[in-house]
Amino acid sequence: MYDVTLIPGDGIGPEITKSIREIIEATGVKINWEIVNAGEGVMDQYGTPLPEEVLESVKKNKVALKGPITTPVGSGFRSVNVAIRQKLDLYVNLRPAKTMKGAPTKFENLDVVIFRENTEGLYAGIEHMVGDDAAESIKIITRKASERIVRAAFEYAKENNRKKVTAVHKANILKLSDGLFKAVAEEVAKDYPEIEFDNKIVDNMCMQLVQYPENYDVLVLPNLYGDIVSDLCAGLIGGLGLTPGANLNDELAVFEAVHGSAPDIAGENKANPIALLLSACMMLNHLGEKEAASAIEEAVAAILAEGKVLTGDLGGNASTTEITAEIIKKVKENL
């Protein structure tokens, strides 16, 4: 029995976390979910969208599964998603993106793993107005944060038999901040002579990923570029409904999909649970439950390849409950 924190989130979060719990239950892995809530829904009760008990629960259990949480645009509270990563110092945002047979995409041969720096950059949240007609946002890049994310990318490459790490930046324009990130990446790369290293300017990187995806393997990026490039990669493999992720440090792990709370389809039983489900597979692997993770991954691969029971984002018309039932059926066959 594992103790795991569950943050259902809002929008489609409650629907897809329910689906994931049912699918994990079908694998026979026993999880004691400690449910804690964050976001707008808890503001009245706690006076904050991120109650201390959420952070305490993750610190205690060390592992969490998190649904998406809505962030008001413009005014209102700052992103709870970003705050969780910063307050727990979850410095790695790991986002694998791999083409799957049957997924609705014109692109082939993408198999990249994104290491996005998760604690600083433009997401440090240091912004102010300069009078009424100008605004300033400050981008922070430090040697410490750059070094640990680049090292995490190389260590992952080493452990997972990946051949190449590419550092992505805009150091031609942002000579000091991105220049420091690039210089640190070059220094760290020297400790891993067996792994090929190169660097790319972020705009070129976007074009390269669309035209020559097979040339890329592990990517390491500062926060904002990592956020944008991971949505690009999500699009290349068939959409946000398929792209998992994890926020990690050396002690804690919070697993969540790349996508947001999808308010346009929330509560309609239309959301695709696969992205969060594949995040849950990363969690099961992290817990050492490799057989259960493989059984789910194979079930998802079979569903995509068959193309019969798919949610709307994948070109089908199945509901969240229908695809969940089909996954459970296939998981049971695989075990």
Could you list the active site residues? 123, 170, 203, 227
Residue 272 makes contact with ligand NAD by CB under 6 A = yes
Nearer to ligand NAD, 271 or 303 (CB): 271
Residue 10 makes contact with ligand NAD by CB under 6 A = no
Which one of residues 262, 280, 284, 309 is an interface residue with ligand NAD (CB under 6 A)? 262
Nearer to ligand NAD, 213 or 244 (CB): 244
Nearer to ligand NAD, 54 or 180 (CB): 54
Span near ligand NAD by CB under 6 A; candidates 93-101, 165-173, 184-192, 263-271: 263-271
Distance set, CA 146 to CA 81, 175, 250, 285 (Å): 21, 15, 15, 26
**Please, where are the H alpha helices in the chain?**
13-27, 43-46, 52-61, 80-87, 143-159, 177-189, 202-211, 223-237, 274-286, 290-306, 320-334
**First and final C-alpha spacing in the chain:** 19
Nearer to ligand NAD, 271 or 328 (CB): 271
- Min dist CB 313 to ligand NAD, Å, is 4
Which one of residues 70, 86, 93, 118 is an interface residue with ligand NAD (CB under 6 A)? 70
Please report, as residue ranges, which positions from 286 to 315 form the binding site for ligand NAD (by CB under 6 A).
Answer: 311, 313
Distance between CA atoms of residues 253 and 241, nearest Å = 21
Count of beta carbons in the 10 Å neighbourhood of residue 136: 9
Which one of residues 240, 253, 283, 293 is an interface residue with ligand NAD (CB under 6 A)? 240
Distance set, CA 233 to CA 6, 150, 197, 219, 254 (Å): 27, 20, 20, 11, 21
> Shortest Cβ contact with ligand NAD: which residue?
260
* SS3 state at 166: strand
**CA geometry: angle 137, 141, 143, nearest 5 deg:** 165
Which one of residues 4, 265, 293, 299 is an interface residue with ligand NAD (CB under 6 A)? 265
Residue 119 makes contact with ligand NAD by CB under 6 A = no
Token digits for 164? Answer: 């190449």
Residue 85 makes contact with ligand NAD by CB under 6 A = no
Distance between CA atoms of residues 231 and 295, nearest Å = 27
- Min dist CB 239 to ligand NAD, Å, is 7
Distance between CA atoms of residues 310 and 182, nearest Å = 42
Residues that bind ligand NAD (CB under 6 A): 12, 68-71, 81, 240-241, 256, 259-265, 271-272, 275, 311, 313
